[in-house]
Structure 1
Amino acid sequence: MSNDMIFLREIERGDLPTINAWRADKALVGLLGGAFRYVGAEVDSKWFDTYLCSRAGNVRLAVCLASTKEVVGVTYLLGIDWVNRCAEFSIQIGSQPAWGRGIGEAATRLTLEHAFDDLNLRRISLTVLASNTRAIALYEKVGFRTEGLLREAVFKGGKYVDVIPMAILATDVS
């Protein structure tokens, strides 16, 4: 899956140092729903091994620049439910020089294309911090719709913050 700017491929063990560096960036993790925690290389290696054993229900993709093949982010389709044909989406553009260049939008669109056209999924959901206005604007631009508000659902930066659930259906994509 690719466009002129990026391509997606399955993550590889060699990507782990890059992904781990992003996990160690407290400011970057602060934009995401999960809690910051220190993650060692051995833990990442075991996490990758677990992923390899759970590929039937999870897709983990590296976002690579077409020009250099550098990994600048990841997108995930997690908890794939093959009966209901749904999954949870997440994205992280970890390389700050890649921010603001349309890479997140391109990666999101390519991942959705893979989900709907290749995997035959019909519903992709996500959750986003209510304060992450850039991410919300991106998700709305590609067709995700807000499905409510989870008040004070996540503990971030010493306080509880709101989370917005969003989803897109295959029929929403034109």
Structure 2
Amino acid sequence: MTPYFRELGHSDLIQINRWRNTPETVAQLGSAFRFVGMAIDEKWMEHYLSSRSNNVRLAICDSTTQQLVGAMYLLNIDWLHRNAECAIWIGETEAQGKGIGQQAMRRLLAHAFDDLNLHRIYLSVLSNNIRALNLYKKIGFSEEGKSRDAIFKNGSYDDLIQMAILSNEYHDLGTI
């Protein structure tokens, strides 16, 4: 499957809300499962639209079916220090494990470094999310630290691994 990317919009909220209310989808994310009402997601979208100057939220879509399969974000963009947090999730189960996340992350980094002129992109990932850890290392992220027992999920605590990539590291890899 070849993905294409576009800005998230109101029409995506039904799908995103479905993913956010699916425990298996939320299991690998750095937040606890909570039921999320559509009104909350509508407010989330309105907040994003009012803060677009410091956030980028993109839809990951299947180019054949036009179906939304995931989302990726650049959050809290700091224009002075030229850094931002990134996040990604592939919400559609049938789209997971097919390389879409890698293609999406490479495109997000290209946008961050080449279009927005950012210098550092950072993220946090659950220590037991081996697939994501391997992906991030493969595309050039380095581990910077660990927050021990930082997240309580499914009855136990888990560590969060902090990772980042700098623009020169990204360009040295010839990532895209």
TM-score by length of structure 1 reads 0.96
The one-letter code of the counterpart of 1:27 is E
Per-residue CA deviation, residues 81-112 of structure 1 (Å, 9 max, x unaligned), is 00000000000000011111110000000011
Give the structure 1 partner of residue 7 of structure 2. Answer: 10
The one-letter code of the counterpart of 1:26 is P
Q: Which runs of 5+ in 1 are unaligned?
A: none
Give the structure 2 partner of residue 129 of structure 1. Answer: 126
Matched, 1:146 2:143: yes
Partners of 1:27 and 1:94 lie apart in 2 by 10
SS state at 2:106 partner: helix
Matched, 1:93 2:69: no
Q: Which runs of 4+ in 1 moved over 2 A?
A: none
| Alignment map for 1:17-166 (pairs within 5 Å) | 17-166=14-163
Partners of 1:44 and 1:164 lie apart in 2 by 27
SS state at 1:83 partner: coil
The offset of 1:148, in angstroms, is: 1.4
Partners of 2:78 and 2:32 lie apart in 1 by 25
Q: Which runs of 5+ in 2 are unaligned?
A: none
RMSD over equivalenced CA pairs, Å: 0.9
The offset of 1:46, in angstroms, is: 1.0
The one-letter code of the counterpart of 1:56 is S
Partners of 2:130 and 2:117 lie apart in 1 by 30
The one-letter code of the counterpart of 2:96 is W
Per-residue CA deviation, residues 97-132 of structure 1 (Å, 9 max, x unaligned), is 111111000000001100001111010000000000
Partners of 1:9 and 1:123 lie apart in 2 by 22
| Equivalenced residues, count | 171
Partners of 2:41 and 2:53 lie apart in 1 by 20
